[in-house]
Structure 1
Amino acid sequence: MSAGLPLELWLPAHQRFSPAHPLQRLLARADRLDHGPRGYLAGLQHYFSCTGAQLPAAALTRQQLAGDADDALWLSADPCWVQAEMNGARLLACGQLGLDMEQAQALAQPLRPVFGDAGMQLELSSPDRWHLRLPGGSPIPTFAAPEQALGEDLFQHLPQGPKGRRWRVLINEIQVLLHQHPLNSDRRAQGLPPVNSLWLWGGGVLPHQVSTRWASVVSDDLLLQALARKAGVACQSRSADAVRAAQAGTLVDLQDLPVAQIEQDWWPTLDELLRRQPVTLAFADGGRWRHGPWHRLRFWRAGRAR
């Protein structure tokens, strides 16, 4: 399954790394590969193949967190922060808003009847990951993933047309209830962003089969961990020891980390890997390079990779 695959590092966009960082010098001496997928979901679909056309993120993450996805139809409903503006609203954060389970349950309490009236059941799988269980066969419009909408006008990513009207009304009602919630008043008083909306995305049913070429994965990303588990692939949490011990056939996921953290905290470990074995460096913007330890001897190649 992983025959011939080197170790692969999945990293943030290449252009976000400092031009002066040693990584750029190594890339200048490495072999440039064909362009790969751009973005988080495209990357996951490149590394893992699911039965069905879409990646059912909601069902996969529900199964990973609660183990009860079964054959139900799921939709992610993750707590988020939407900033109102003169001509609309903008998605500024989704998940990772510092909620504990008690706070999450308090926010969800007035929302449950609204979803119940719409035939949906709201489940809090974790403080940052909420899920809707929908009746089987329910039509679900295409919802944008959070990565596709962050920083952009909310209206551009809402389901449009007559079929989307039900969802737009539902989202608006949820936003009104959350805006009025006393917990958000407390958060504003503490200088914290409000949890004033839910981001709906990733609908579908748990796939019967997930396959991958990789023998093992190192990642802290919930959806990637869920895919690895469904594919029957060993998955370790991200740590310096786990990355240091990674061998050929392993996918090491660092794409969600701040670039500054990779350049400073993680670079000694990554440099050790690059000195020891061939590594494919795959960046979130699609750039890909293959680096072998012997490439450091290509002194005639200097400067920054392009």
Structure 2
Amino acid sequence: MARLTLLLPATARFAGHPLPPALAQALGRADRGQSDAGESAQLARHLTLLPLGWPAAALTRLLDAGEDDARQGAWLRADPAHVRPDINGARLLGVGATVGMDQADVDALLPALRPLFGDAGVQLDAPHPARWYLRLSAGTPMPMFSSPDEALGDDVFDHAPRGEAARRWRALESEVQITLHNHPHNAARLASGRVPINSLWFWGGGALPDAVSTTHPTVFSDDPAVRGAARLGKLQDMPLPASLESEVDALVDLRGQRDGRGLIERWLLPAVGSGEVTLDFADGVMFTLRPGQRWRLWRRPLSALPA
């Protein structure tokens, strides 16, 4: 029997969107559970990394530069970012792909920043315009950094790294901001209607895992870290398609999808009746659908997804 797992945004994303009758009936008869909320917990339920953790920088480095390169030391993402000061502090309004990076930006800004990190004993490079990396020695102490998804729209000071290990990174961040503030390329970006690159966002630190496993042979995702993990596990990694054929055995990563109605119509409803299906929501709500559940005639259809 085909087994399909859909990784979905939190159920709040579906608020106000009615469930089609077939889906409402299937969810009403499904097995329901509650697991830990949050992106890390959601991914860990279906992708087992050894050692445990989610070193996003190392996983995306594998995708961008290959496993041999990614095995060389530890990695930290240092993505181009736009921070806007306001009356209460400064807000992170864009990181990486969301600030419209291209190779011309890399060619202009990277040479100005490399000496800052070279003096600190780390190497900065950018194999992808939106994904910049710091190569660190194995075992380099790193504080906890917030991912862009956690910090976007928030005051950057609420996500500043803390502790003794964070001191050097705060100092480097200040030097980066001074260098970028004075760089003439940002004037060219403004003239072309783009926001200036005035910071780097550090996140995703760690070394490449020894192994990755999952119960599915195929992983569909637009998340470079998820695709890197799939590739490390020798799984078939594919970008997210417009839709899936029925009877497919796969892990489908839909966490980045914003349209609740579209998710219902294009993914959840077609999944009904396609073998064993697990719906895993980012807030920990889970449903497992199996063909035999159609005989649970006493269960009422679900009127809406739990908020």
Pair in the same fold by TM > 0.5:
yes
What is the CA deviation profile of residues 71-116 of structure 1, one whole-angstrom value per residue up to 9, with x for unaligned ones?
Answer: 3121111112212122321222222122112212212121011011
CA distance in 2 between partners of 1:246 and 1:117 (Å): 55
State TM-score, norm by structure 1.
0.87
When residues 50 and 305 of structure 1 are mapped into structure 2, their CA distance, relative to the original with a 3 A threshold, is: closer
The amino acid of 2:214's aligned partner reads T
1:102 — aligned with what? 104
When residues 186 and 100 of structure 1 are mapped into structure 2, their CA distance, relative to the original with a 3 A threshold, is: same
1:60 — aligned with what? 59
2:11 — aligned with what? 14
CA distance in 1 between partners of 2:302 and 2:141 (Å): 55
1:84 — aligned with what? 85
CA distance in 2 between partners of 1:175 and 1:297 (Å): 61
CA distance in 2 between partners of 1:36 and 1:95 (Å): 31
When residues 30 and 192 of structure 1 are mapped into structure 2, their CA distance, relative to the original with a 3 A threshold, is: farther
CA distance in 2 between partners of 1:300 and 1:56 (Å): 43
1:207 — aligned with what? 209
What is the CA deviation profile of residues 163-185 of structure 1, one whole-angstrom value per residue up to 9, with x for unaligned ones?
Answer: 32211110011112222222322
CA distance in 1 between partners of 2:29 and 2:107 (Å): 50
When residues 199 and 275 of structure 1 are mapped into structure 2, their CA distance, relative to the original with a 3 A threshold, is: same
2:285 — aligned with what? 287
What is the CA deviation profile of residues 212-255 of structure 1, one whole-angstrom value per residue up to 9, with x for unaligned ones?
Answer: 222221112111111111112112221135x224524x111111
1:121 — aligned with what? 123
State TM-score, norm by structure 2.
0.87
When residues 184 and 302 of structure 1 are mapped into structure 2, their CA distance, relative to the original with a 3 A threshold, is: same
The amino acid of 2:11's aligned partner reads H
When residues 10 and 62 of structure 1 are mapped into structure 2, their CA distance, relative to the original with a 3 A threshold, is: same
2:224 — aligned with what? 222
1:125 aligns to what SS in structure 2?
strand
The amino acid of 1:228's aligned partner reads A
CA distance in 2 between partners of 1:270 and 1:14 (Å): 13
User: Which range moved further: 145-154 or 59-68?
Assistant: 145-154
Aligned-pair identity (%): 39
1:168 aligns to 2:167 (yes or no): no
1:280 aligns to what SS in structure 2?
strand
When residues 162 and 273 of structure 1 are mapped into structure 2, their CA distance, relative to the original with a 3 A threshold, is: closer
The amino acid of 1:134's aligned partner reads L
1:199 aligns to what SS in structure 2?
strand
The amino acid of 1:12's aligned partner reads P
Could you tell me how far 1:148 is from its partner in structure 2? Answer: 2.2
Give the gaps of 5 or more residues in structure 2: none
CA distance in 2 between partners of 1:85 and 1:210 (Å): 43
Could you tell me how far 1:159 is from its partner in structure 2? Answer: 2.1
Q: How many residues align?
A: 299
CA distance in 2 between partners of 1:87 and 1:189 (Å): 27
1:240 aligns to what SS in structure 2?
coil
2:194 aligns to what SS in structure 1?
coil
CA distance in 2 between partners of 1:162 and 1:136 (Å): 18
2:133 aligns to what SS in structure 1?
strand
CA distance in 1 between partners of 2:41 and 2:263 (Å): 27
1:196 — aligned with what? 198
User: Which range moved further: 136-145 or 59-68?
Assistant: 136-145
Aligned with residue 189 of structure 2, among 187, 190, 207: 187
The root-mean-square deviation of aligned C-alpha atoms, in Å, is 2.6
2:136 — aligned with what? 134
CA distance in 1 between partners of 2:79 and 2:115 (Å): 17
Give the gaps of 5 or more residues in structure 1: none
1:47 aligns to 2:38 (yes or no): no
When residues 92 and 41 of structure 1 are mapped into structure 2, their CA distance, relative to the original with a 3 A threshold, is: farther
User: Which range moved further: 158-167 or 227-236?
Assistant: 158-167
The amino acid of 1:141's aligned partner reads P
User: Which range moved further: 144-153 or 214-223?
Assistant: 144-153
What is the CA deviation profile of residues 244-267 of structure 1, one whole-angstrom value per residue up to 9, with x for unaligned ones?
Answer: 24524x11111111225xx23872
1:158 — aligned with what? 160
